[in-house]
């Protein structure tokens, strides 16, 4: 499935590199494990190879998918629960899927809400974590440093309102009166 050197994403922690693939005996049972080094939070994760799919471990996206992620980040907000507890759970569940587009949607919606109304303390923490996880994958996908990946993400998030206004403006006076 994955080999040493592969760039992978562990949904709860972000993107990293497979450093080792080894057989370990745990509770008297031999199992093959992947050791994944997650750079952005200086963490090492051991995942049983037979659990990779169950925990949502997947390869890092390619540049084509980065463009799709950017479009999601620049899109409009989606309908979310008004109650912050329900909204928090809704976003947490999306993050747990490990789907990059769901994660990008959470980041976008929290960025827009933060700009418009502000976020609760829990949502602010979630927003920071979601951005770190997303940036960690973008770092590998775009071959950037960690700082440059964060800067790229912040630049994209700073522009969605401008982008939407530009799309909403009529291109000519004729289309404005039509």
- For residue 76, report the phi and psi dihedrals to the nearest 5 degrees: -80, 165
| Residue 160 pLDDT grade (very low, low, confident, very high; cuts 50, 70, 90) | low
Half-sphere exposure of 161 (CA within 13 A, CB side): 7
User: pLDDT for 26-36, tens place per residue?
Assistant: 899 999 999 99
Tell me the average pLDDT across 87-109: 93
Does one domain contain both 115 and 141? yes
The tally of domains found in the chain comes to: 2
Does one domain contain both 53 and 74? no
Question: pTM of the entire structure?
Answer: 0.84
Does one domain contain both 33 and 15? yes
Does one domain contain both 13 and 68? no
Q: Is residue 175 part of a domain?
A: no
On whether the CB atoms of residues 101 and 72 are closer than 8 A, the answer is: yes
Encoded tokens for 130 = 């979601």
Instruction: Give the domain extent around 109.
Output: 63-167
Does one domain contain both 74 and 111? yes
Whole-number mean pLDDT of the chain? 87
**Which of 73-82, 117-126, 148-157 has the weakest average pLDDT?**
73-82
Tell me the average pLDDT across 95-100: 91
Looking at residue 82, what is its pLDDT? Answer: 82
All residues at 6 or more sequence positions from 100 whose CB lies less than 8 Å from its CB, including other chains: 9, 61, 65, 69, 134, 137
All residues at 6 or more sequence positions from 67 whose CB lies less than 8 Å from its CB, including other chains: none
Does one domain contain both 151 and 84? yes
């Amino acid at each position: 499935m994955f080999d040493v050197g592969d760039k992978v994403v562990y949904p709860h922690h972000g993107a990293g590199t497979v450093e080792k693939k080894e057989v370990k005996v745990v509770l008297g049972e031999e199992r093959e494990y992947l050791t994944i080094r997650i750079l952005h939070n200086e963490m090492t994760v051991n995942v049983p190879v037979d659990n990779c799919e169950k925990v949502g471990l997947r390869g890092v996206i390619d540049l084509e998918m980065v463009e799709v992620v950017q479009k999601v980040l620049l899109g409009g907000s989606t309908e979310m629960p008004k109650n912050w507890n329900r909204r928090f759970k809704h976003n947490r569940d999306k993050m747990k899927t490990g789907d990059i587009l769901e994660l990008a949607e959470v980041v976008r919606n929290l960025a827009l809400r933060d700009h418009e109304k502000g976020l609760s303390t829990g949502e602010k923490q979630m927003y920071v974590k979601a951005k770190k996880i997303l940036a960690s994958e973008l770092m590998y996908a775009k071959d950037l440093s960690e700082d440059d990946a964060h800067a790229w993400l912040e630049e994209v998030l700073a522009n969605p309102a401008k982008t939407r206004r530009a799309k909403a403006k009529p291109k000519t006076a004729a289309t404005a009166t039509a």
